[in-house]
Structures are given as structure tokens and as C-alpha cells.
Homo-oligomer: A and B are copies of this chain.
Amino acid sequence: MTSTAAVLVIGDEILSGRTQDTNTNHIARFLAALGIDLKEARVVPDDRCEIVAALNALRARHDLVFTTGGIGPTHDDITADAVAAAFNVGIGYHPEAYALLEARYPPGEFNEARKRMARIPHGAALIANSVSGAPGFQIGNVYVMAGVPMVMRAMLEAIAPQLPRGVAVQSITVEAAVPEGVVAAGLAALQKAHPDVAIGSYPFYREGAAQPFGAQLVIRGRDGDAVERAAQALEALIRELGAAPQRVK
């Protein structure tokens, strides 16, 4: 049974446009390699009610939920409290988190703000942060990670061994200098004939090319032979249309 997952990005800076989210894409690729299906992603502001509502919706629907953002030392970092509220559990200093943070700072510099980062919902397990120390945490099926991409990636690596593995989706991408509207009918027939794969079409426009309109046609599926069969049928279709199919990475 394939595990499903959702991503919850927490942060005003994404919704204001200040910051381009790249964590979702990184998590998507990471999960794909493990054979876990990312089914949904949401972005919510630094607002307790919004975080709680989205988290409860997502954790009920999916096997795994990954959150990013809002676990630092400043007043706008409210994710840990919101997660505790969503799970209806208390929150307080986690002895291990407290000790590891305390050890990072010179005497007298482990202040209240920094101690805030040791506040972890009751019952949660820590997620190691090899970059900057302050841990993330896991509670139930929810993995709470930092928003800074470098830190988030380190946390993902840290939890990888404990995530379920599935059969990874394989994909073959075939590029064709054929307008989507020309390949569409054959593509629909191909999808019907190969129901065990999913075929996506992503158009491009290359100014100055002899045939500027084309598409990347992506075949995805868990059965590598089925993907290969569909790809060969697709290549034959493109040749029939008078173009040269090209497999790309």
C-alpha cells in the first residue's frame, strides 16, 4: 500500500511574495524517491487558527504530513504551539532539546528566546538539526521542520530512515517538437490503452526554432516495464506525426 503525504508550508513571507517557496519541491522529489505519493500542499500564514485547521485537515487525510517554517526563537515562530493545539496536548521544555541547545551557547547566552526553541509538544520525538542545532520534532504522523531550506533538508535526511518505503514512481520524459493540439488525440488514445501509467503533457515554446511549439510528454508509473512500453508507443506516435521523439532527463 503506497503511503500518501501532504506538505504544509507555514509563513507570511511566502504569501506576501517576499520569499519563493522551494521546500515543497525539494520534499516532493525526496518523497518520490522513497516511493511516497505527495498528494497535496498548502501554504498558510503565521496564524494559529489557520495552522491548526490546515494541520488537522491534512493529518486526517494523509499518512504523513511535513510542515516547514515557524520553529525559530522569535515572536512570529508559533508553529510548535499551534501543533500542540492541533493535537490537543501540552507543550513545554523538552529535556533533550533544552540540553543540546544549552550546550551550543556560551554561558549566559542561553536566553529566554533561545529556550523557546526547546519548547516541544508533549509526546513528540526530536528531529536532529545538523546545521544549526535547534531540533524539529515528530508527533503522530506529523513531521515539523524548519523553514530555512538548508536546515529543512538536513532534517529530511535525519528522518529518512524512519519513513515508510514504497515502490518509487518511474518516469520517462519524451520531448517532441509537435504542438500539443496535434499530439493530443493520439495521447488520449495512448492513455486509454495504458491505464497503468499516467501521461502528462507540458507544452513549451522555443522562439526561433523551426517548430517553436512542442511538448514534454511525461509517462509515470510504478511498473517500469509498463512505463517503458507506453514510452515506446508514444515514440511511435510522435514519429507518425512526422517528428523525432527525444528522451530527456
Contacts and interface: CB of A to CB of B under 8 A. Distances in A.
A169 interface: yes
B43 A40 contact: yes
A127 interface: no
A164 interface: no
A19 interface: yes
Stoichiometry, copies per complex: 2
A74 B188 contact: yes
Interface of A: 12-22, 24-26, 28-32, 38-46, 50, 72-77, 105, 109, 111-114, 116, 132, 148, 150, 169, 171, 180-185, 187-188, 191, 198-203, 205, 215, 218, 220
Given A12-B198, A15-B28, 6 more contacts: A13-B200, A15-B39, A17-B38, A46-B200, A74-B187, A113-B181
30 contacts: A12-B198, A12-B200, A13-B200, A13-B218, A14-B24, A15-B28, A15-B41, A16-B28, A16-B32, A16-B169, A16-B171, A17-B28, A17-B30, A17-B38, A21-B24, A40-B44, A40-B50, A41-B42, A72-B180, A72-B203, A73-B180, A73-B181, A75-B184, A75-B201, A76-B191, A76-B199, A76-B200, A76-B201, A111-B185, A113-B180
